[in-house]
Amino acid sequence: MGRPSNSSSSSIDSSSHPSLSSASSLCKRDLSTDLRLGLSISTSQPQHSSNSRDQPADWPPIKPLLRSTLAENGNHRQHQATFFVKVYMEGVPIGRKLDLFAHDSYEGLIRTLGCMFRTTVLCSDFAQASSSNSHVLTYEDKEGDWMMVGDVPWEMFLTTVKRLKITRADKC
Amino acid sequence: MMYFPEEVLEHVFDFLSSHRDRNAASLVCKSWFKVERWSRHKVFIGNCYAITPERLIKRFPKVRSLSLKGKPHFADFNLVPHEWGGFVLPWIEAMAKSYPGLEELRLKRMVVSDESLELLSRAFPNFKALVLVSCEGFTTDGLASIAANCRFLRELDLQENDVDDHRGHWLCRFPDSCTSLVSLNFACLKGEVNLGALERLVARCPNLRSLRLNRSVPAEILCKILVKAPQLMDLGAGSCILVPRSDSFTKLTSAFLNCASVKSLSGFWEVTPRCLPAVYPICSKLTSLNLSYAPAIQGNDLIKLIRHCQKLQRLWVLDCIGDKGLAVVASTCKELQELRVFPSDPYVGGNAGVTEEGLVSVSIGCPKLHSLLYFCQQMTNAALTTVAKNCPRFTRFRLCILDPKRPDHMTSQPLDEGFGAIVQSCKDLRRLSLSGLLTDQVFLYIGMYAERLEMLSIAFAGDSDKGMLYVLNGCKNLRKLEIRDCPFGDDALLTDVGKYETMRSLWMSSCDVTIRGCKVLAEKMPRLNVEIINDKDLIEETPDDNQKVEKMYVYRTLDGPRKDAPEFVWTM
C-alpha cells in the first residue's frame, strides 16, 4: 500500500485518544478560567496531572500518547552511547581521553582539543604552512595507519578512528 | 428522461468514489436511489449515534466497508469521560447477521472490547482490513483473535490506541498460512512482541508494504526485517539504540541502502541520535516523515536529517526543531504540503520552541503548503498576515499558542486581524483552530469570509454571544463546531436552532449555556440529541435550570436519544 496515513479529512485520520483518568474538574463554577488552568493563583484546583507543575490534563490540546511520551522523556535521561578515545600530544607522556560522541563535527573537536592542550590545533581543513607553535591533529585508523584528521566526512571518521595524536606541524 | 438498465446505472455509479457524490446521486429519483443503495459497498458514518445499525442495514444491504466515528473530537484532550459511549459491539453484532461479506472496518474514537474483536474475527470470513484510530477498551487478547481467525487479513492498523497489553504473544497467533498482510501497524502497543514471530511473519508476507513497529523492537531486528522486506514503502522504526561505529550500525546502514521504496518514515521511540545517519540513504526519496514521537532527536540532528529530505510532502516534528530548523525546512523541502509542529515542552512559559518566525520562513519557502498544525509560544498579526499572503491555499489551519489568551507579542493587540487575514485570503479553508487573545471581531471575519469552513475549534476566545452568532450565521458549510471556555450563552445557542440540523455536531464546554437553554433547544428540535455531560462526582439530584452546563454535546440524529448513555449523561 504505502499510502501515507492521515490523509484527507473525509477518511479517518489519526487522532489521539483519551487514556488518562477522567478530567473531572474540581473547580467550582465561579472560579475564573485562569484559575482553572492553574496559571496564576495557587488556590486553584488543578486537574489531574502527571508532573509537579500542575499542568491541566486538557491543555494544550495534544493527544495522550504524545503527552505520556514527552513526560517519560522528561523523567529520565536519555541513554547516550559514548566513544572515548585516547589523545596524546607529542612530547607529553601522559595522554587524555575524549568522548568523540560529544561532538558533532571537526570544528567542535578542534575547539575542545585546543582547550584541553592549550594550543592551536589544525586539521586538514585548515592546514597552512607549518608554524612552530601550532600542532596538527592525526588519528590511527582501523588499518593501523596514521592519517590527518579532516579529510573524510565526520560520520565516516567516527567509524574508523581508534585514537588521536597531536603532532607538531613541521613534521607533517 | 432516458432510462438506463439498472446494470448500466450501477456501473456508472461505480465511478463515483466519494460518499458525497453517491449521496447526491441517490437523491435524483427513486430509481437512482434504489440502484445506488443496492450497489453501495462503502459507507462512512461520522457520528455513530446519528443512526442505528439497523437503519444502516435497511438502507444499504450490501455493505463491505464501514467507517465509524464515535466520541467527539475534544475527547482527544481528556474532555469527555471514558464511559461516555461510542461502543462498537452493537454494530458488529448487527452486521454479523446482515453483512456476511464485510471486508473492512475503520473506527475512530470508539470503545472496542475484546468481545467485539473476537466476534469480528469469526463472523466475517472475508474480512480484510481493520483500522483502529484513537480507540480503547481492548487488549492484546482481542488482537490475538484477529490474528488467528482472519484468514485473508491484509491490513491491521492500530493508530494511537490505548491498548491493555497482556504480552500474550498475539503476533504468534498469525498462522503460518497467513501470507496476505500488506499493512501492519502496532506502533502504539506498549508491550513486547515475540521478535522471532515478527521476523517470520514479515518473511512470509511478500506484499507487505507498510510496517510500523513499537518501542520493543530493537535496531538489530529492524535490520533483519529490512533485509527480508526491501519492498517496504512505509516504515515505522521501533527502537534505534545503536553504537555508531559498531557492526550493527554498518549493517543497518546497508539495509537502508537496499530499501529503494521507502517513502514514509516514522517512529524512533527511542533512538541514539548519532545513529540517524544510517537513515540518510533513504531520505532523498521520503515524502512523509513523522518524528513527533522522538523527543531524543534534538535540533541539530533533526536539521542534518532534514537537509537530506528534499522531496518531503508531509513533515511532523517536535518544536525542538526551532525557528532555525524551520528555516532549513523552508530552504530544503520545496514540495512540502503538510506541516505539524508539536510542543516538546507542553508547559506554558516553558522552553521556547518555535515562534512566528519559523512559520513565516516556511510560508515563504514552501509554496505548496496547505495544511498546518502549529504549537508555538507566541504569534503576531503581522506574521499571520504575511503567512496569509504567501500561502493562500490553506485548507487546514490550526494554530495553538500555548498560553491561552496571549496577545500579539509586539503590539499587545488581539490576534483578530491576523486570523482575519487568513480567512480572507484562504478561500478553500475547510478547517480552522484559533488561539491567543481574540475578541468578537475575529468571528465577524470568520462569518464574513470563511465560506468553505467545515470545522472550527475555539478556545478561550470572544467577548459575547455576538461572536458565536457571527459564525453560525455566516459559515454556510459548517459541519462541526467545538467551543471551550468562551463567554457564549443561551442567546447564542438558541437564536438559530435550525442551524444544528445542518451540522454534524456542536460541542460547548465551560461556556455560559444553562440547563434551561439546553432544555429549550431540545424541545424545539426533536431531531437533535442535546446531551449534558456531568462531572461524575458532582451530580446534583435536582439541578437548578439557571445552572451553567459544564459540557454540552449536541448532534443531529434520526433515531432519538441513545439507549446506552451512562447515568452522568443527560439527554434533554
User: What are the respective helix, strand and coil percentages of chain B, to the nearest 5?
Assistant: 35, 20, 45
CA distance B112 to B92: 10
Residues of chain B numbered 328-387 and touching chain A (CB < 8 Å):
342-348, 375
Q: What is the pLDDT of residues B170-210, one digit of tens each?
A: 999 999 999 999 999 999 998 899 999 999 999 999 999 99
Residue B242 at interface with chain A, using a CB cutoff of 8 Å: yes
Contact B75 A18 (CB under 8 A): yes
Give this complex's ipTM.
0.87
How far CA B392 is from CA of B384, B395, B424, in Å, comes to: 12, 9, 9
Q: For B507, what's the count of Cα atoms within 13 Å in the CB-facing half-sphere?
A: 19
Residue A45 at interface with chain B, using a CB cutoff of 8 Å: no
The answer, yes or no, to whether residue A125 has pLDDT greater than 80, is no
β partners of residue B342:
B318
CA distance B532 to B509: 10
Amino acid at B267: G
β partners of residue B265:
B235, B289
Spans in chain B with pLDDT lower than 70 = 1-2, 168, 346-352, 536-541
**Which among A90, A92, A110, A91 is positioned nearest to A100, based on CA atoms?**
A110
Q: What is the pLDDT of residues B521-537, one digit of tens each?
A: 999 999 999 999 987 66
Measure CB to CB from residue A1 to each of B78, B209, B400 and give the nearest one: B209
Average pLDDT, chain B: 93
> What is the distance in angstroms between the Cα of B241 and the nearest Cα belonging to chain A?
8
Strands annotated E in B19-87 = 42-45, 65-69
pLDDT score at A107: 86
Amino acid at B147: A
SS (H, E, C) B511-562: CECEHHHHHHHHHHCCCEEEEEECCCCCCCCCCCCCCECCEEEEEECCCCCC
CA distance B104 to B67: 8
Based on its alpha-carbon atoms, the radius of gyration of chain B, rounded to whole angstroms, reads 25
Q: Would you say how long chain B is, in residues?
A: 572
Residues of chain B numbered 16-35 and touching chain A (CB < 8 Å):
18-19
User: 3-state class of B236 per DSSP?
Assistant: strand
Residue A108 at interface with chain B, using a CB cutoff of 8 Å: no
Contact A62 B342 (CB under 8 A): yes
Contact A65 B249 (CB under 8 A): no
The answer, yes or no, to whether residue A82 has pLDDT greater than 80, is no
Give the predicted TM-score (pTM) of the model: 0.81
pLDDT score at B3: 73
